[in-house]
Chain A
Amino acid sequence: MNRRNPLWRFTGVRPTAWLFFAFLYVPIVVLVALSFNGGQSATLWNGFSLKWYAAVANDPEIVRAAKNSLIVASLATLIATILATLAALGMHGRTFRGQTLMGGVLGLPLLIPEIVTAVATLMFFSFIGLKLSLFTILIAHVVFCIPFAYLPIRARLQGMDPRLAEAAADLYASPWRAFWRVDFPLLLPGILSGAMLAFIISMDDFVITYFVAGAGATTLPVYIFSAIRMGISPKINAISSIILLISILFVALSYYVGQRRR
C-alpha cells in the first residue's frame, strides 16, 4: 500500500500523536532541566549549576542505596536468568500434560498486581520467621524477574530451526556438545535480552521492595520515595535525572545496535 496516498490522512490523527509524544516527554525534559537549577528551589529557575549532582555523589545514604540496588539487581538477574533458561529448555518440545499450567505459573508474576505480591510475600516471610533484609529483597526480586527473563528466551527457542540440532546429532555430536556448540550460541541473544529486561525491572522495582525491605536495606527507588515524601528538592531532581538518563542511554544503545545489525 502506498502510505503517501492522501486517502490515508485521517482527521485528527497526526495532532493526537504529537500530543501523545509531547505528553510522554515534556515531564522528563522538565525534570532533567530543573536538575541543573542553581537555586534552592525545586521548581524556580535560578541559573545553571551542577551543584546538586555533586550533592548526590557526596551523600553516603544515596551511594549506599545505589550499591544495594546494584547488588540485588545483579544477583537477581543472574539467578532468574539461569532458572528461566533451564525452564525454557524444559518447556520446549512436544507438549506434555500439565505444560499449560506450568507455563501459566511461569507467567503468573506478570499477572498478579504488584501490591498483592508485595503483601503476600511480606506475610510469608513473617510466617516462616525470616527477618527482613537485603536477602528477602533478593528472593522477592528473583520471583518477579523470572517471567521477564523467561519470555524472550522461550520466544527465541520457538524461532530456532530444530534441524540444526538434528544436523549436529547426525554429525555425531553428543547431546551435551551439540547444546553448547549449536543451541546455546543461537539462544544467546534471547538470554541476553531476557537478562537485560530482568536487570532493569529489578533496578526499578519499588512496591515489592518497599514491603520486604528490612531496616537499613534501602534500595535507590525506596530512598527516592521516602525523599519525595519529605518534600520535593533539587537533590531529588538530580538523582532522578541520573536514573532516567542511565536507562534512556541503555535503551538507546540497544536500539542503535539493533538498527545497525539489520
Chain B
Amino acid sequence: MSTLQQRQQARQLRHRLLLSAPAMAMLGVFLLVPLGIMLLVSVLQGGDYGGVKWGEYSFEAYVSFFYERDLDDSLVFNTDYLQIFQRSLWLSVLTTAGCLLIGFPTALYLALQDEKRRNLLLFLVTVPFWTNLLVRVYAWILLLRNGGLVDSGLGLFGFDGSLGILYSDAAVIVGLLYSFLPFMVLPIYTSLEKLDWRLVEAAFDLGANRRKALQRVIVPLAMPGIVAGTLLVFIPSLGNYIIPELLGGGKSLMIGNLIQLQFGTAHNWPLGAALAFVLLALVLLAMLSYNLRFRQPAMEGHA
C-alpha cells in the first residue's frame, strides 16, 4: 500500500472520529462519569442529613444488604433488602411468563393474517409504545380501585363486593404485563414473519398434528424472538419504579422504589448507590449471557 493511500485513510479515520466525538463526549461526561461517581458513592460514608462525606470510605452500604446495626453496634442478620430483591425478581419472572403466555399466541395470530390486516394490527400493537406510561398506569388505578370499573363489571356477573387488588402484588403484575406485553409480541412476531412456513407445511405433510408442528418446528424457529422478548420484558420490569409506586401503593416495593427511597426520605445515598449498582450488574449480566449464547455468528435455528 502506498504511503499516500495510507495517509489518506488515516485522514479519513480522523475525520470520522471527529464526527462521532460530540456524541461520545456527551455520553462520556454525562453518563459514564456519573456511573463511575455512583460506584464511588456506594463506598463512601453517608452524610448526616443526606448526601455523602466525600473522601471518607466505608463498606457500610454493602454490609447493610445483609446486616442491620443493633443499638450496641453489633451486626444482626437482616433479610429486609434481600426480600425486596427476591420479590422484584419473582414479580419480573411472573410478568415475563405472563407476557410469553399471551404474547406468543398473539404474535402467531398476527403472522397468520393477510398483509393489510396485519399492518393495521401491528400498528395497534405499537401505539402504546408512543403513549405516556404514567398515564396508562393511571388508567389502571381507575379500573382497579375499590368500587372501580373492574368491581362494577364483576357486579354485573353477580359477583358482589370488591376484589380489592389495587395496592397489591397482583395489581403490580397487571401493570407490568400491561406495560411490557408489546415488547414481547413484536420480537416474536418478527422472527415468525421471517420463518420459512414451508418447513411447517413439510411437518404437516409428514403427519405432524398442529400441536407437534408448533412444538417441534414453530417454537424452536421462533426462539431468537422469544429470547429477545423475554429480555425486553424482564429487564425493564426488574428496575421499574412507576408501576410498583402507583399500583403497589408502597406495600409492594420493588428494587426501583427501594433505590428511590434512599434518595428521598431515607437519606442514605451510599445504600441507594450500592443498590443501583447491584441492579445495573444484574442487567449487564443478563445482557452478557444473552450475547454469549444467542449472538454467535453461526446461529443454528435451535439456539
Contact = CB atoms under 8 A, between A and B. Distances in A.
Interface string B151-181: 0000000000000000000000000011001
B206 interface: no
Contacts of B30: 121, 124, 139-140, 142-143
Contacts of B138: 31, 224, 228, 232, 236, 240
A184 B287 CA distance: 35
Nearest to B262: A119
Contact of A23 (B16, B54, B178): B178
A117 B32 CA distance: 10
B130 A247 contact: yes
Contacts of B83: none
User: Which 9 pairs from chain A and chain B are nearest by CB?
Assistant: A113-B239, A90-B19, A90-B20, A124-B34, A27-B139, A17-B109, A87-B23, A16-B105, A120-B34
B75 to A, nearest CB: 26
Contacts of B143: 26-27, 30
Contacts of A20: 102-103, 106, 181, 185
Interface stretch (A6-14, A47-55, A58-66, A160-168): A6-14
User: Dominant SS at the A interface?
Assistant: helix
Interface in A92-146: 92-93, 96, 102, 105-106, 108-109, 111-117, 119-124, 126-127, 139-140, 142-143, 146
B97 interface: no
Interface in B95-154: 102-103, 105-106, 108-110, 112-114, 119, 121, 123-128, 130-136, 138-143, 145, 147-149
Interface in A68-91: 83-84, 86-87, 89-91
Contacts of A92: 16
Interface stretch (B56-64, B65-73, B222-230, B269-277): B269-277
B256 interface: yes
Interface residues of A, number: 84
A42 interface: yes
A20 B108 CA distance: 12
Given A24-B178, A120-B276, A232-B142, A10 B214 contact: yes
Contacts of B43: none
Contacts of B210: 7, 10-11
Contacts of A12: 105
A211 B34 CA distance: 14
- Residue among A12, A24, A143, A237 with the most chain B CB within 10 A? A24
A152 interface: no
Contacts of A90: 16-21
Nearest to A98: B17
Contacts of B263: 119, 122, 211
Contact of B106 (A11, A16, A28, A203): A16
A28 B139 contact: yes
B26 interface: yes
B220 to A, nearest CB: 16
The interface size bin for chain B is 35 or more
B33 interface: yes
A153 B221 CA distance: 30
A194 interface: no
Contacts of A120: 31, 34-35, 37-38, 276
A83 B28 CA distance: 13
10 contacts: A12-B105, A17-B110, A20-B181, A87-B20, A96-B16, A102-B20, A111-B287, A146-B23, A228-B138, A251-B127
A155 B46 CA distance: 45
Contacts, number: 249
Contacts of B123: 251, 255
A31 B109 contact: no
Contacts of A203: 132
B108 to A, nearest CB: 5
A205 B114 CA distance: 36
Contacts of A114: 239, 241
B279 interface: yes
A21 B24 contact: no
A120 B275 CA distance: 12
A146 B178 CA distance: 27
B41 to A, nearest CB: 5
A35 to B, nearest CB: 10
Contacts of B177: 23
Contacts of A204: 131-134
B179 to A, nearest CB: 10
Nearest to B185: A20
B187 to A, nearest CB: 14
A57 interface: no
B186 interface: no
B235 interface: yes
Contacts of A117: 31, 34
A119 B273 contact: yes
Interface in A199-254: 200, 203-204, 206-207, 211, 221, 224-225, 228, 232, 236-237, 240, 243-244, 247-248, 250-252
Contacts of B18: 90
